Amino acid sequence: MKPCKLGGLLHWLKGPSMACGHTVLMRLVASAYAVAQKAGMIVRRVIAEGDLGIVEKTCATDLQTKADRLVQMSICSSLARKFPKLTIIGEEDLPAEEVDQELIEDGQWEEILKQPCPSQYSAIKEEDLVVWVDPLDGTKEYTEGLLDNVTVLIGIAYEGKAIAGVINQPYYNYQAGPDAVLGRTIWGVLGLGAFGFQLKEVPAGKHIITTTRSHSNQLVMDCVTAMNPDDVLRVGGAGNKIIQLIEGKASAYVFASPGCKKWDTCAPEVILHAVGGKLTDIHGNALQYNKEVKHMNSAGVLATLRNYDYYASRVPQSVKNALVP
Ligand code: AMP
Ligand code: MG
Ligand code: MG
């Protein structure tokens, strides 16, 4: 925890959003980073303890585990304690109950506080921010042991736009041998950049599509086929698929179906946009993240690091007609 030295003076010099010399946004991102790291530890601990506590939500491919529940409690309570005026929207419907102190993370990642806040965000107030939390993205794959598909997503929105995000991948490196460091955290702020990975592109001219493995249907398949892909990767998780785009494993994330929600896309969208990529619905509309917005991304997802127009131009009209925003 950074000591609040000179707090009074800086408050006077820079206004109320700069408590401790840092803006609300950068303090929130620094806290979200620490909170996401703890989340990753909880995700690993639940597997290690061996009882996933699986519950079916709407159907057999829409699951919740003990990790989804504990992580959401951890993230939401930790952030709400430090930033009581935030609006926090988490995926899971959980009963309001006292959260175990052991789940609370109070730290912040000091490296983030060393970075400058983009000037357009320096006056943001806590009450103006909306945080979208997917405590465990790729739950179906988590229950099947496809552990590197899993991510923890904390997205931050201002005036309806996704502006900052943190992604923890708890099992990054888990197949790399016993000496490999397990897990990583990627973060980004629009206007500042994205960090925690090596940016890489798919070789020019190759069209590698990444799409769902657990939530496919005819529309999804029609849209993927229309892209004339060289290869199709079917993997779990929205966070995981955006990581494939920024690490040069896939050139487009195509999901022509409802099912994906605002907590799935908020943090990944920021990371992609911060490095020059683009995420929209299947019609090309930007996604909105204000607190009143419908949770479902009803018109699907189309995301690329480069060559967005190539993929957008190949979405069949029949697919567009079937997906109403
Ligand atoms: P997937 O690519 O299938 O891993 O989906 C990305 C995210 O959207 C995950 O959080 C899924 O749980 C969610 N999702 C996509 N389609 C559906 C669906 N039909 N029902 C429930 N969740 C879905
Ligand atoms: Mg999800
Ligand atoms: Mg989830």
pLDDT tens figures, 257-314: 999 999 999 999 999 999 999 999 999 999 999 999 999 999 999 999 999 999 999 9
Whether residue 179 contacts residue 108, with contact meaning beta carbons closer than 8 Å, is answered with no
Q: How far is the CA of 80 from the centre of ligand 1 (A)?
A: 27
| Separation of alpha carbons 282 and 316, rounded Å | 10
Q: Which residue has the tokens 């951890």?
A: 74
Compute the chain's Rg from CA coordinates: 19
* Band (179; pLDDT cuts 50, 70, 90): confident
Q: Which of 260, 262, 296 to mutate to test the pocket of ligand 1 (most atoms within 8 A of CB)?
A: 260
Burial 71-81 (b: 16+ CB within 10 A, else e): bbbbbbbbbee
pLDDT tens-digit readout, 101-119: 999 999 999 999 999 999 9
Predicted confidence (pLDDT) at residue 206 exceeds the cutoff of 70: yes
Whether residue 311 contacts residue 281, with contact meaning beta carbons closer than 8 Å, is answered with no
- The encoded tokens of residue 133 equal 């939390």
At residue 110, the 3 state secondary structure works out as helix
Which residues, chain by chain, have CB under 5 Å from ion ligand 3? 91, 134, 136-137
Q: What percent of the chain has pLDDT over 90?
A: 89
Least confident of 21-25, 179-183, 266-270: 179-183
Q: How far is the CA of 41 from the centre of ligand 3 (A)?
A: 16
Predicted confidence (pLDDT) at residue 12 exceeds the cutoff of 70: no
Predicted confidence (pLDDT) at residue 7 exceeds the cutoff of 50: no
User: What mean pLDDT is reported for the chain?
Assistant: 94
| Separation of alpha carbons 239 and 261, rounded Å | 12
pTM of this prediction?
0.94
Please state the rounded mean pLDDT for residues 20-48. Answer: 96
* Band (122; pLDDT cuts 50, 70, 90): very high
Whether residue 191 contacts residue 162, with contact meaning beta carbons closer than 8 Å, is answered with no
pLDDT tens-digit readout, 290-299: 999 999 999 9
Q: What percent of the chain has pLDDT over 70?
A: 94
Give me the catalytic one of 23, 65, 134, 139. Answer: 139
pLDDT tens-digit readout, 65-113: 999 999 999 999 999 999 999 999 999 999 988 899 999 999 999 999 9
Which residues have any ligand 1 atom within 6 Å of their CB? 62, 137-138, 212, 214-215, 236-238, 259-260, 264
Look at residues 259, 28, 24 and name the one whose alpha carbon lies nearest to residue 165: 28
Residue whose CA lies nearest to ligand 1 atom number 13: 260
**Residue 68 known to be catalytic:** yes
Beta strands in 12-128 (DSSP E): 55-56, 63-64, 87-90
Burial 42-60 (b: 16+ CB within 10 A, else e): bbbebbeeeebeeeeeeee
At residue 298, the 3 state secondary structure works out as coil
Please state the rounded mean pLDDT for residues 43-59. Answer: 96
Residue whose CA lies nearest to ligand 1 atom number 17: 259
**pLDDT score of 65:** 98
Residue whose CA lies nearest to ligand 1 atom number 7: 260
| Separation of alpha carbons 322 and 302, rounded Å | 15
Give me the catalytic one of 68, 134, 264, 281. Answer: 68
Q: Which of 209, 212, 243, 266 to mutate to test the pocket of ligand 1 (most atoms within 8 A of CB)?
A: 212
Predicted confidence (pLDDT) at residue 123 exceeds the cutoff of 70: yes
* Band (20; pLDDT cuts 50, 70, 90): low
**pLDDT score of 177:** 85
**Residue 139 known to be catalytic:** yes
**pLDDT score of 137:** 98
Residue whose CA lies nearest to ligand 1 atom number 20: 259
